[in-house]
C-alpha cells in the first residue's frame, strides 16, 4: 500500500506545473491586450490643419509680391490717365511762338478754352479735330469796349508729339488756310515751355 501511494505523487506535481502554465498563459494574453488596444479605445490625435507647417517666410514673400504687383498696376494706370485724351488737353500749358522760322518774345498760355497772350489779349479757343487738316479758331473775348463784329483768327494746325504745334493762321476776314504748307500765310511754330510767374508785390 505504501508503494502505490508514493507512485501516485507525480500527478500532483504535474497538476501544479499545469496550473502555473495556465497562469503564465493568462498573464501573456493580458499583455497582448495591452499592446493592441481594441477599436473602441482612444482616437488618434487630429492631423494638422491645411496651411499649418508651411514656412512663414514664404507667406511673407508672397504677400510682398502681391503688394508690389498692385503698386505696379496702379502706377501703370496713373501714367495712362496723364496722357492727353484729345487736342484740347494737348494745348493746355505755356507755349513760346516762332513766326516764319524766327523766334519771338511772344508767348501764350492756354487754360481750358482760354488762349491768353502774355501781356496781351485773351481769345476763346475752338478746335475741329475731325477736319483734315485740323482746324483752329480764336475769337477775341478780352475787348469789352470794342464794337462791331467779333475779332477772329482761323487756321489749321498739327501736333508733332505733345510739345510742338505747327500752325497757319489768318485773320477771320480772309479765307482759312487750306494747308500747313500754304506759302502765302506765315507759319507759327509753338514750343511748350514753362513760363515763370511774375513776382508779386514786395519781391
List the domain boundaries for the chain.
87-193
Say if strands 164-171 and 152-159 run parallel, antiparallel, or are unpaired. Answer: antiparallel
pLDDT digits (tens, 9 = 90+) for 85-142: 999 999 999 999 999 999 999 999 999 999 999 988 999 999 999 999 999 999 999 7
pLDDT at 154 over 60: yes
pLDDT digits (tens, 9 = 90+) for 168-183: 999 999 999 999 999 9
pLDDT at 138: 98
pLDDT at 12 over 60: no
Give me the mean pLDDT over the 23-30 stretch: 45
CA distances from 61 to 15, 58, 68, 71 (A): 78, 5, 11, 15
Band of the pLDDT at 81, cuts 50, 70, 90? low
pLDDT at 8 over 60: no
Give Dmax over CA atoms of the chain in angstroms: 169
User: Read out DSSP for 47-91?
Assistant: PPPTTTTS-HHHHHHHHHHHHHHHHHHHHHHHHHHHS-SSHHHHT
| 150 or 15, greater pLDDT | 150
- Cα 165 to Cα 191: distance, rounded to the nearest angstrom: 7
pLDDT at 50 over 70: no
Give the CATH fold of the 87-193 domain.
Lipocalin (2.40.128)
| 146 or 139, greater pLDDT | 139
Least confident of 26-40, 49-63, 126-140, 156-170: 26-40
pTM of full prediction above 0.95: no
| 57 or 19, greater pLDDT | 57
Amino acid at each position: 500500500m505504501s508503494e502505490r501511494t508514493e507512485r501516485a505523487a507525480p500527478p500532483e506535481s504535474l497538476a501544479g506545473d499545469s496550473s502555473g502554465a495556465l497562469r503564465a498563459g493568462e498573464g501573456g494574453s493580458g499583455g497582448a491586450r495591452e499592446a493592441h488596444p481594441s477599436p473602441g479605445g482612444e482616437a488618434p490625435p487630429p492631423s494638422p490643419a491645411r496651411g499649418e507647417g508651411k514656412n512663414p517666410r514664404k507667406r511673407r514673400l508672397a504677400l510682398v509680391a502681391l503688394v508690389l504687383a498692385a503698386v505696379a498696376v496702379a502706377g501703370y494706370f496713373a501714367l495712362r490717365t496723364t496722357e492727353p485724351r484729345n487736342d484740347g488737353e494737348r494745348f493746355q500749358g505755356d507755349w513760346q511762338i516762332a513766326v516764319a522760322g524766327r523766334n519771338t518774345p511772344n508767348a501764350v498760355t492756354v487754360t481750358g478754352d482760354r488762349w491768353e497772350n502774355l501781356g496781351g489779349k485773351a481769345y476763346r479757343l475752338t478746335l475741329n479735330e475731325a477736319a483734315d487738316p485740323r482746324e483752329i479758331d480764336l475769337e477775341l473775348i478780352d475787348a469789352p469796349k470794342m464794337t462791331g463784329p467779333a475779332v477772329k483768327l482761323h487756321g489749321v494746325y498739327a501736333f508733332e508729339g505733345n510739345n510742338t504745334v505747327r500752325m497757319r493762321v489768318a485773320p477771320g476776314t480772309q479765307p482759312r488756310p487750306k494747308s500747313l504748307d500754304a506759302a502765302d500765310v506765315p507759319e507759327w511754330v509753338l514750343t511748350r515751355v514753362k513760363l515763370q510767374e511774375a513776382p508779386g508785390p514786395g519781391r
